[in-house]
Amino acid sequence: MRLSLSPSPRPTARGIALALFQDASPAKHPWFPALPAGAKQTVLAFAKSKEFIGKSGEVHVIPFGAPVRRVVLLGLGVRKDWNRRKATLASRQVVVVAKQHKITDIALRLADLQLPNVDVASLAQLVAENAQLADYSFTRYRKIPKGGWPKLASYVLHVRLADRTAAAKGVRVGTVIGAANNAARDLANTPGSDMTPALLANAAVAEGKKSGFFVTVMKKDAIEREGMGGLLGVSQGSPHSPTFTIMEYTAPGHATDKPIVYVGKGVTFDSGGLNVKPDTSMYEMHMDMSGAAAVIAAMCAIALLKLPLRVIGLIPAAENMSAGDAYRPGDQLRTLSGKTIEVMHTDAEGRVILADALTYAERYKPSAVIDVATLTGAAMVALGQRAAAILSPNEAFSQQLHTLAEESGDLAWPLPLWEEYEADIQGTFGDVANSSKVRYGGAITGAAFLWQFAKKFSRWAHIDIAPTMTTIDGQFLAKGSAGAGVRLLIAYARKYAAA
């Protein structure tokens, strides 16, 4: 899909989107006078009969002319309730409706979606970003249907001539971020048979060459020399050796900066190990490397946007299987930090490999560390499927990430992480247990475990993206991975670079 800008006051696309607030008269829309008489009559008839009243998400598609063109009436809801989340959905819905009705090119007035206190560049970014997300589908393993997949070739945003420069900047940024988010979805949607730890590392190398950041991959022998016993332990039951990938982006003049470090969980398939998962819980576990995908994709966008800062991405990658060599409940794993992990449950493996990565991050003396992981089903129990969980002992940092999550559309909500929770993950025979002694608050105790390896960071946060790993109905996104975490990581880097 090509997204472009036009200063023309009249649309020439085959699809014309009229975005209208509830009970607003279509006749007052600036594009209404440009419609042919027959189309005007039909639109007014829909409004008069109340078949279209502009409720949020309401859509009617009206054909007119020869060759056939279409007016897309898109409801925005009550004006006073209009907000960023609804603008996000409307931006996506335009694309979805166009593809459903085989409209190959569509036009929309950017001003129709105007938000209070949001400038033109930011609004254009939002629309461009979400148009990319809505246009995505994962069809690599499907037979191409006769006539091909539905395709929206062109999405034209109409802006005032005075706003074109600002809008162009927003479209450029939004296109980069949307493409990065979709790249993460590609990685996460790929089956475990085609996304082993080595292949995940290869994907990071390829993205680094394409986007402009440096990548180093540690294989098993190097991981052993480092002493990453957590990563080695989790991978024992798989024929696929672990990898540890280091991605480095440094803008010119920023080589001596204290970097941001992003850490992504890279469990390329999670069977649960010897504590095997139920069959209904195992189907999507090729996506248990979604945190790694988010970090790789965020690094791509940061490099392409040429942000003036230094960023490190760390990906511990392993497959958690249950062969004869698999790690066992009761095992003691000595980590890079020197601490031992008492294995209480082999399906609490993500935190085990992240422990080594967090310790490795210390050598960079980072300004901030954020890890991203599909860590716990408990986070989904706490928050449903509409928000990831943010956990940090630094409440100001947690709140900053919460604000950026709302602004970026990568929604996340803070949960508490207090010293009292550390008692729940103390080991009996080892230093720390990988599963809590209590059955409640699993998202928090999982973060409390990670905190034991993040004590040296003044700004550290754990983002549990298990709730938002996949898309849900009503988001106008294709089924499968949502690319959770990507936009939040990019937003933090952009905010830090602008500070």
15 sits in the region (left: phi over 0; alpha: psi -120 to 50; else beta) called beta
CA distance 468 to 181: 13
Query: Which of 379, 371, 336, 348 has its CA nearest to residue 457?
Result: 371
End-to-end alpha-carbon separation of the chain, Å? 34
Residue 244 is encoded by which pair of tokens?
A: 């540890």
CB-based burial label for 160 (10 Å; 0-12, 13-18, 19+) = middle
Residue 202 is encoded by which pair of tokens?
A: 């290869």
- β-partners of residue 463 are 372, 390
CB-based burial label for 150 (10 Å; 0-12, 13-18, 19+) = middle
Identify the active-site residue in 277, 328, 334, 495.
277
What is the DSSP-derived secondary structure letter of residue 422? G
Cα dihedral 432, 435, 440, 443 sign: positive
The answer to whether residue 363 is catalytic is no
Query: Which of 72, 67, 26, 70 has its CA nearest to residue 49?
Result: 26
- β-partners of residue 433 are 342
Residue partners of 235: CB distance under 8 A and separation at least 6: 197, 220, 241, 242, 318, 319, 320
The answer to whether residue 277 is catalytic is yes
Q: Helix, strand or coil for residue 132?
A: helix
What is the DSSP-derived secondary structure letter of residue 273? T
The string over 204-215, giving b where at least 16 C-beta atoms fall within 10 Å of a residue's C-beta and e elsewhere, is: beebbeebebeb
Q: Helix, strand or coil for residue 318?
A: strand
Identify the active-site residue in 70, 351, 487, 494.
351
- Evaluate whether 14 touches 105 at the Cβ level (below 8 Å): yes
Residue partners of 37: CB distance under 8 A and separation at least 6: none
CA distance 392 to 414: 8
**Residue pointed to by tokens 């794993």:** 333
- Evaluate whether 181 touches 275 at the Cβ level (below 8 Å): no
ω into residue 416 within 30 of 0, thus cis?
A: no
Residue partners of 94: CB distance under 8 A and separation at least 6: 17, 19, 72, 74, 106, 108, 131, 134, 155
- β-partners of residue 218 are 244
Tell me the residue type at 186. D
Identify the H or E element spanning 487.
helix 486-498
Residue 280 is encoded by which pair of tokens?
A: 């209904």
- Evaluate whether 292 touches 197 at the Cβ level (below 8 Å): no
Catalytic residue ranges: 277, 351
